[in-house]
Amino acid sequence: MTRVDHSPLADFGARTRLDGRRILVVGAGQGIGRQTAAALCQAGAQVMCCDIRRDLAEEVATEVGGIAWVGDATSREDVIRLVADADDALGGIDGFVDIIGMAHYGDAVAIDDQRLQWQFDIVLRHAILLTQHVGTAMAGTGGTMVFICSSAGLTAAPQTAAYGSAKAALISWIKSVADELGPSGIRANGVAPGMVWTPRVSGLIGQRGRTMVEDLTPLRRMAVPADIAAVALFLTSDLAAFVTGQTIVVDGGITNSFPYPMQQLAEVAGIAEPSG
């Protein structure tokens, strides 16, 4: 203590630890999910690695020291089974990180009913089901919910309008459930990445696309899955004990950039020296 501050110093190192906590990582099979499972395990949590593909769930669980679980999180029956299986294997649930999400690419006016339903299922439906069933299981003891959102839910999303709309709905969902579940000791937060160099994205855009993204990003690199997992770890830990209803943007600053070419416009207006 000091002469003017008599409060004890916090043990910030202890707040980073998750020893004994039982956490579900839904969509753990690769990319952000795999790194998140590793981060939570390294912090001391017991982690159930959940994926729709058995081979990926088992590989990641073996790699990080977790427990594999296989099922479809967009199915209410499977989410109910997940809660029961986690209770059997872990003795309860203290939190989850929901990674699931994928974008459909195409013109907004051309998306058909089947694709539209799929897009909202893969982005929003499972988040609602996890909130309902895992939230009920945690209501007596409290816990954490972390949802991987997207910067597409915060900005225009040309060619991915349905995806961006579903992610915007997810961000709104987080705010509402944080208010509703806060009195039960449950915190709900989101992480909104920009484009991340996951196995899926790397196969889609290749090195040329990566270079384009890096040139547009103020930090001059593209995010890797560990960047997103680190923020999911923070929101799960007691370092974020007073944070709820928030979505943290993790995009290297790309959505901060003013969209107009101000240097060039200033040159045209004669109020700046030519660049280069």
CA distance 64 to 43: 11
What are 151-210's pLDDT values in tens digits?
A: 999 998 888 899 999 999 999 999 999 999 999 999 999 999 998 988 888 888 899 988
Residues classed as catalytic? 163
Q: H or E segment at 224?
A: none
Report CA-CA distances (Å) from 75 to 80, 81, 200, 261. 9, 10, 23, 46
Q: Which two tokens stand for residue 3?
A: 């002469």
How does pLDDT run along the chain (276 residues), one tens digit per residue?
Answer: 787 888 999 999 999 999 999 999 999 999 999 999 999 999 999 999 999 999 999 999 999 999 999 999 999 999 999 999 999 999 999 999 999 998 888 898 999 999 999 999 999 999 999 999 999 999 989 999 999 999 999 998 888 899 999 999 999 999 999 999 999 999 999 999 998 988 888 888 899 988 888 988 899 999 999 999 999 999 999 999 999 999 999 999 988 887 777 677 677 777 756 665
Structure tokens at 4: 């003017």
Q: How far apart are CA 182 and CA 241, in angstroms?
A: 11
CATH class name, domain 17-269: alpha beta
What does the domain layout of the chain look like in residue ranges?
17-269
